[in-house]
């Protein structure tokens, strides 16, 4: 009677050891089990609570793609800046070496004075605003504790976000009144350098249009000179003539292409400035307008003070002379608001309207 329970106990022990041995042989490697657990956790996180929507799921699925784009843009920023400098310098070399002697030999003195004055003014405005847009900090919210009012908390910085502040994944920090991250500047476009960025786009577009229009006849002549004629022998051109003709064609094609592309971007930003919003706020305001329309209400942008006043605030124009000294001439003045609070901006609007 005593041996029976012990025999059963040994038998159960033997079966358990055999099952554990078989389970150990069939167990998957550790890295596969960890990967599978991580995937299950990701799937469960997509339906974690009732606040999850299609935007959250989309951002979660494409997060690796966004991270890759941010990483590449961050490390290739200086490459884009060097490309801008090299292309602009090549146009300047062609203008001074090839075009300027032609202008001095063929144009009348008034036209020579016009081309020299306008060309150098446009060049100064382009160089000044590009340097300031690239080197000026866009503005960052304070990292230490303070009494600045905020509208939300950044999910990545875990810091309070003032109004109109957004997180830049490339700069890896929050930007005051962020518009976008520009790879051609290797810098974010925010509160303190937004004017420099738009002015650079505007004057670069004007410069490209100027080169494209003034060099059109030279381009047609150069293209005709290099065009191969199979019926009659081509005229003899020296190596210098071929280099000049190819340089003129290169200049006209580049400036015309950049003028069209950058001109469209400039017009888009001009529309946004007229509405008192940034590129990010355009998306947010559109969604808010649709949301309130479902409730039978009309959404009003709190930072839209009218088209003319929006432009005055953007350029910092307080009197008529500022249209010349702060818009048509290089100016390093800072915006009226500090980017954290917007009460000073409201005071400026009231002063522009003559209310105070």
187-189 and 160-161 as β-strands: parallel, antiparallel, unpaired? unpaired
Report the C-alpha gap between 316 and 346 in whole angstroms.
Answer: 13
Task: Specify the DSSP class assigned to residue 334.
Answer: P
The H-or-E segment that residue 175 falls in is strand 173-175
- Kindly indicate the confidence band of residue 120, based on its pLDDT and cuts at 50, 70 and 90: very high
| pLDDT tens digits along 209-267 | 999 999 999 899 888 887 754 445 556 677 788 888 899 999 999 999 999 999 999 99
**Domain extents in the chain:** 64-350
* More confident of the two residues 147 and 292: 292
pLDDT at position 3 is 46
pLDDT tens digits, 147-196? 888 888 888 888 889 999 999 988 889 999 999 999 999 999 999 999 99
Number of residues in the chain? 356
Confidence of residue 5 (pLDDT cuts 50, 70, 90): low
CB 133 within 8 A of CB 197: yes
Predicted confidence at residue 230, as pLDDT, reads 45
Enumerate residues 6+ apart whose C-beta is below 8 A from 189: 133, 138, 178, 179, 180, 181, 182, 197
Work out the burial of residue 157: count CB atoms within 10 Å of its CB; fewer than 13 is exposed, 13-18 middle, 19 or more buried. Answer: middle
pLDDT at residue 329, rounded to an integer: 96
Percentages helix, strand, coil for the chain (3-state, rounded to 5) are 65, 5, 30
DSSP string, 111-148: HHHHHHHHHHHHHHHHHHHHHHHHHS------SS----
* Phi, psi (rounded to 5 degrees) for 46: -70, -25
Contacts of 78 (CB under 8 A, 6+ apart): 186
104 and 112 Cβ atoms separated by less than 8 Å? yes
- CA–CA–CA angle 162, 319, 128 (5° rounding): 70
State the pTM of this model.
Answer: 0.78
Pick 237 or 105 by higher pLDDT. 105
90-99 pLDDT, tens digit per residue, is 999 999 999 8
| Residue (of 205, 220, 185, 198) closest to 256 by Cα position | 205
Is the predicted pLDDT of residue 268 greater than 90, yes or no? yes
Residues catalogued as catalytic: 182
């Amino acid at each position: 009677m005593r041996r029976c329970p012990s025999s059963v106990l040994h038998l159960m022990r033997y079966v358990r050891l055999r099952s554990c041995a078989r389970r150990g042989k069939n167990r998957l490697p550790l890295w596969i089990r960890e990967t599978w657990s991580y995937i299950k956790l990701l799937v469960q996180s997509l339906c974690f609570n009732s606040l999850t929507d299609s935007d959250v799921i989309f951002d979660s699925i494409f997060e690796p793609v966004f991270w890759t784009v941010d990483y590449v843009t961050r490390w290739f920023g200086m490459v884009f800046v060097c490309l801008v400098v090299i292309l602009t310098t090549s146009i300047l070399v062609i203008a001074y070496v090839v075009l300027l002697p032609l202008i001095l030999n063929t144009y009348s003195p008034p036209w020579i004075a016009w081309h020299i004055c306008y060309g150098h003014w446009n060049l100064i405005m382009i160089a000044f605003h590009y340097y300031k847009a690239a080197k000026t900090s866009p503005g960052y919210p304070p990292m230490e504790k303070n009494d600045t009012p905020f509208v939300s908390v950044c999910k990545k910085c875990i810091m309070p976000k003032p109004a109109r502040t957004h997180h830049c994944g490339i700069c890896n920090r929050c930007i005051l009144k962020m518009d976008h991250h520009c790879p051609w500047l290797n810098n974010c476009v925010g509160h303190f350098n937004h004017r420099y960025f738009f002015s650079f786009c505007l004057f670069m577009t004007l410069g490209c249009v100027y080169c494209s229009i003034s060099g059109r006849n030279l381009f047609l002549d150069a293209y005709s000179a290099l065009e191969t004629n199979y019926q009659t022998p081509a005229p003899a051109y020296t190596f210098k003539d071929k280099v000049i003709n190819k340089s003129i064609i290169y200049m006209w094609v580049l400036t015309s292409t950049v003028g069209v592309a950058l001109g469209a971007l400039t017009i888009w930003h001009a529309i946004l400035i007229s509405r008192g919003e940034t590129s990010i706020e355009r998306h947010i305001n559109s969604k808010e307008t649709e949301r309130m329309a479902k409730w039978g209400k009309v959404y009003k942008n709190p930072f839209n003070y009218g088209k003319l006043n929006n432009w005055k605030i953007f350029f910092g124009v307080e009197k008529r002379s500022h249209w010349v000294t702060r818009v048509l001439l290089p100016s390093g003045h800072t915006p009226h608001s500090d980017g954290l609070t917007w009460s000073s901006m409201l005071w400026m609007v009231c002063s522009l309207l003559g209310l105070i």
